[in-house]
Amino acid sequence: MQHERQHYVDGAWVDPIEPKLVTVIDPSTEEACATIAVGGARDVDRAVAAARAAFPAFARTTRKERIDLLQAILAEYDRRREDVARIMSQEMGAPIKLARERQAATGTNHLRRMIQVLENYEFEELQGTTLIAREPIGVVGLITPWNWPINQIVCKVAPALAAGCTMVLKPSEVAPLNAILWSEVMHAAGVPKGVYNMVQGEGAVVGEAMSFHPGIDMMSFTGSTRAGVLVAQAAAATVKRVAQELGGKSPNILLPDVDFRDAVTRGVLQMMGNSGQSCSAPTRMLVPADRQDEVKAYAKAAADSLVVGDVADERTNLGPLVSEVQFDKVQRLIQAGIAEGAELVTGGPGRPEHLNRGFFVRPTVFANVRNDMTIAREEIFGPVIVIQPYADEAEAIAIANDTDYGLAAYVQGTDIARARKVAAQLRAGNVHLNYPAGDNAAPFGGYKQSGNGREYGKWGMEEFLEVKAVIGYEAA
């Protein structure tokens, strides 16, 4: 790659004001795969100045001009999509099939969806004699994570562009190379100077500078709840809007009438996709107490069926965790589960026996887990699922809601009316009934400490719009 040691500001690749480098580690090998520049507060100042200068003209662009721009970005992204998949497979450890068919594909899907939204969205409406207008909020700061990196970049950048905003992006320094490719896509697609800017860096430096910055009108952040609190605290000084998509500890309620072999198998495999590094993964499987032994057998078979190892092999479906920090955290939590008396069904501490390097974790299943155990309450973010028995439907709902989080929940049941009734009682921003296909037109976001605001589709674009009332617009 040509631009690893640069930022993208005002339509050009620029050197950092104060040179500082960070090594990117390939989690499969634990070896360096790249060295990137990381910025500081002055780099943020330069990027914000470019975005503010570009905002008046870009905010006045027409719907057609913004649609044409998104279509040009889509064409260029699809031309580079295989490059994006291969880079993500290396820098974050996604198996190549997952990187290609799901990770990289999300960029295409969000761009297509945003073009559809923009084609039909009504930015103005009359309410009696008053005009209600929705206008771009201004310069937005975007901070994105390492676990679904291109997904989160595109589901922020595309709606911000559609709304008429200019922006500064800070991608994760743990998996930053896909963001460099994305910036090359933006440049090749002809995004006007200053509309899109990217500063590489660490959250404690660049992210904090963006959140405090008086020239940024809104922050959109995806990451841990702990980091989200820091962004909100810094942003409060300038009373800027903050939209956050944070952590999760999502319950998956299996009702008694479900096909347990199918529901358990699919639940385990879905949870362990992306090595369990998904904030909305169904990490807590709630099952009838009298069926737990049966569930354990199905869960063990599903976890043991996973192929862990070489991410370049299309047969592999479980790669490493993204970093040593993440590996150590997951190992600590597995040990906590054992120490607190949870039943270890399969997996456990350490790497899989056939691997002697890389941040690989054994696919792990715990059973007889109580809701006061650490592994039932903390977001593990690894291939570790917990099985929790319940006595009746009321207890299942109570256990499901007894969490600080509320990003997603899952319900499996043959009686769809009953499943819907349960879904209505779950305190989560997304509830999935019977493992449906994803819907990137549906609003994505959480209750409680899983964040505020919504992403995807028109809901994502509306986060970047202000509402103006022009009273007396029409004669009475």
Residues classed as catalytic: 245, 279
Spatial separation of the C-alpha atoms in residues 78 and 422, rounded to whole Å: 40
- Among the listed residues 41, 95, 161, the one whose alpha carbon sits nearest the alpha carbon of residue 312: 95
Phi, psi for 17 (deg, rounded to 5): -65, -40
Q: Is 214 exposed, middle or buried (0-12, 13-18, 19+ CB in 10 A)?
A: exposed
Distance of CA 78 to the CA centre of its chain: 21
H or E element: which one contains 180? helix 177-188
C-beta of residue 96 within 8 angstroms of C-beta of residue 314: yes
Report the half-sphere exposure of 202 (CA within 13 A, side-chain side): 8
Neighbours of 212 (CB within 10 A): 19
Backbone phi and psi for residue 408, each to the nearest 5 degrees, phi listed first? -145, 160
Quote the CA–CA distance of 204 and 298 in Å, as a whole number. 43
Determine the straight-line distance between the first and last CA of the chain, rounded to whole angstroms.
Answer: 62
Report DSSP letters for 296-352, one per residue.
HHHHHHHHHT--BS-TTSTT--B---S-HHHHHHHHHHHHHHHHTT-EEEE--SS--
Can you name the residues that pair with 143 across neighbouring β-strands?
170, 221
CA-CA distances (angstroms) from residue 249 to 22, 143, 300, 334? Answer: 31, 22, 21, 16
d(CA 165, CA 241): 14
C-beta separation of 52 from 220 below 8 A:
no
Give the separation between CA 151 and CA 107, rounded to whole angstroms: 6
Length of the chain: 476
Contact 223, 380 (CB under 8 A): no
Q: How far apart are CA 95 and CA 85, in angstroms?
A: 9
Q: Which amino acid is at 60?
A: R
